[in-house]
Structure 1
Amino acid sequence: MKMVSLRFDGVSYWAQVDGGPEFLVGQRVSYQGRKGLSNLKGTPAQRYDPRRHLADHSAVWLYFLAPTAAAEGGLFHTLNTYDRAAFTFGFLQYAAHVPDGDFVVYLRALLALPGAADYFPDLVLLDGRVHRHADDGLRPLESAASTAPLMAWLNPSTAQVEDTEVIQAARFIHWVQNDPAHRALQVRSGVEHMQAAMRRYDAAYGLDGRPIEQCLLVADIRHQGRGSSSEIRLALQANQPVEALLNVGANQYPERIKTLRKALKMLAGEPSFAGQRWRSALKDFSA
């Protein structure tokens, strides 16, 4: 079991695992009456880069993730424990509050890695669900209806920052920073999540033949939750759908829209991305 020691400097929490080098867990922040941690600091090597994963995944899907990753922080250890999700983590900020959602699927896969017993020895998979060892036996942390026990295990309260919250975050951060298999799994989880999401969005919005830029923006709106389905449908019917989609939630999230514009501009010259369209029959993109 990995042993975690903590230090608070009045602004940020720092940790050591098994007496190793100290690393940043997160800055203490307040947001809409809640308190938690935020970590958006890291090196280029700790940031998602599609080019590093071309041997393992389709280039088009790796680049499809890039703008949303940039908008979500882009670091494999991106952390947020102050909003309604209680705990979001990873380069796409997988959120713990959604039953059978991206974080839950990611955590289940993590528990199959060899490092799981060292970082989270109290967790186990039973019948495909995450359970915790307790004095009276195994207790489920998530179900098809709720992740409330999982959220409480990760972050007992958003009214304050607790040692439990910092320690759990430190374990995730240290693991992903030091294990290539963990980072590879995070990318695979992102690719598979977006592939499944695009099939749902196609069914909801009729995306057959739509350029990849439009599909990406639909996916980003849904990922962040900044617009309704009616707003998405209206934007897709506009004369300039890309601009209309970028305008969804733009007043409330101007920095995110700025990041998306910049990322799309950079991808315009990428052969694996430019010119791709969604094909419903293939359930995939093709030129």
Structure 2
Amino acid sequence: MAYDFKLRSVVTDKGKTAHYAKLSNTTEAEFFIGYKTYYKEQDGYGLYNSSQLTNLVYNSDDYAAEFGFFAHFIAPTAKAESHGSFICLNTYDRAYFTFGFMQFAAHVPNGDFVKFLRKLLTLHNAKDYFPRLKLIDNRIFYVSDTGTQTQLESDGSTKPLMEYLNPGLRDVEHQELICSARMIHWATHDIEHRKIQASDSINLYKNNLVKYHNRLGLDGYPAKVCLMVCDILHQGRGKFDRIANALDTNGNHEKAFTNLCSIGEVNYADRISSLKKSIKALETNGIFNKKYQAATHSFV
């Protein structure tokens, strides 16, 4: 039986509108969905939730046995994106719906969020959270009361999926709150949800690094340089030509790292500072002392 959530909102003493949900017909405690926010760039409204609950934060040690070094490799980005929060949410920008500690975004066809949701829909409890969504031939469909099937994403667009999760940016809608509550509750209460989120995040960077090496020639570069390349392109604060120029140092990897840290430093100083701090801690612990080996797509 599909889960039903009761919604509640309140204006805080700081003037923020906070939204909450509670799973109906249970003794579970009410939980926070997110604050309403206005996003000037889109001239629209949405939600954000950057809560970091102790048991819902990505810990690379939990996944190192299965994924090895790459479990640690993504940790600086996870920290910078969301403080590692498995329930990090925003619905206010052009992606319409972004979720998880690596901030998977719904607006990219066949992108990280779409692939993530496809896997979630294979879980045994998917029908409890999203009873209208069904995976058909590895595509996400909406199924109506009458059984009509409507495809929500394709190679060319995810617009129907975006608008299912968040009908628009003119206000915070009921559907947007319900979908957000479903995802937060699911991640909170199901370890399988979190495992998929973690494995998809790790494999995203692992696969991306192969592509980036083919463009930039990263064989022999230290982990911190490779991580910064991945993070720049994940966030979108720089493009390949700028990165290639930063790497053009006649083999001086320290200079290359410094150059990469300068990309986007005017607008993203806090993020870059977070990355550098995380990398330094990993180096101090003897974890980030490896170099990329292109032949085996691994760090040695």
TM-score (norm 2): 0.92
Identity of aligned pairs, percent?
A: 39
What corresponds to 1:281 in structure 2? 295
Counterpart-to-counterpart distance in 2, 1:236 and 1:78: 32
**1:284 partner letter:** S
**2:181 partner letter:** A
Report how far residue 237 of structure 1 moved.
1.3
Q: Is the 8 A contact 2:279 2:288 kept in 1?
A: no
Counterpart-to-counterpart distance in 1, 2:147 and 2:129: 22
Report how far residue 55 of structure 1 moved.
3.1
Report how far residue 153 of structure 1 moved.
0.5
Q: Does 1:26 align with 2:41?
A: no
Deviations, residues 180-221 of structure 1 (Å, cap 9, x unaligned): 111111111111111111111111111111111011000000
What corresponds to 1:171 in structure 2? 182
Match of 1:159 among 160, 167, 170: 170
Counterpart-to-counterpart distance in 2, 1:201 and 1:279: 13
What corresponds to 1:87 in structure 2? 97
What corresponds to 1:104 in structure 2? 114
Counterpart-to-counterpart distance in 1, 2:195 and 2:124: 14
Deviations, residues 11-42 of structure 1 (Å, cap 9, x unaligned): 11000112421001001111122211110112
Q: Does 1:4 align with 2:5?
A: yes
1:189-204 correspondence runs (5 A):
189-204=200-215
Report how far residue 270 of structure 1 moved.
3.1
What corresponds to 1:258 in structure 2? 273
Deviations, residues 149-202 of structure 1 (Å, cap 9, x unaligned): 110001110121101001100000000001111111111111111111111111
Counterpart-to-counterpart distance in 2, 1:41 and 1:170: 14
Report how far residue 147 of structure 1 moved.
0.5
Counterpart-to-counterpart distance in 2, 1:274 and 1:72: 19
Q: Does 1:207 align with 2:218?
A: yes
Report how far residue 57 of structure 1 moved.
2.0
Counterpart-to-counterpart distance in 2, 1:36 and 1:217: 30
Counterpart-to-counterpart distance in 1, 2:233 and 2:31: 33
Counterpart-to-counterpart distance in 2, 1:66 and 1:227: 20
Counterpart-to-counterpart distance in 1, 2:289 and 2:281: 14
Counterpart-to-counterpart distance in 2, 1:168 and 1:249: 33
Deviations, residues 58-110 of structure 1 (Å, cap 9, x unaligned): 1x101111000011111000001111111110010001011111000100000
**1:5 partner letter:** K
TM-score (norm 1): 0.96
Counterpart-to-counterpart distance in 2, 1:41 and 1:126: 34
Q: Secondary structure at the match of 2:172?
A: coil
Counterpart-to-counterpart distance in 1, 2:188 and 2:54: 12
**1:245 partner letter:** L
Unmatched segments (≥5 aa) in structure 1? none
Report how far residue 53 of structure 1 moved.
2.0
Q: Is the 8 A contact 2:64 2:72 kept in 1?
A: no
Counterpart-to-counterpart distance in 2, 1:277 and 1:30: 43
Q: Does 1:236 align with 2:217?
A: no
What corresponds to 1:267 in structure 2? 282
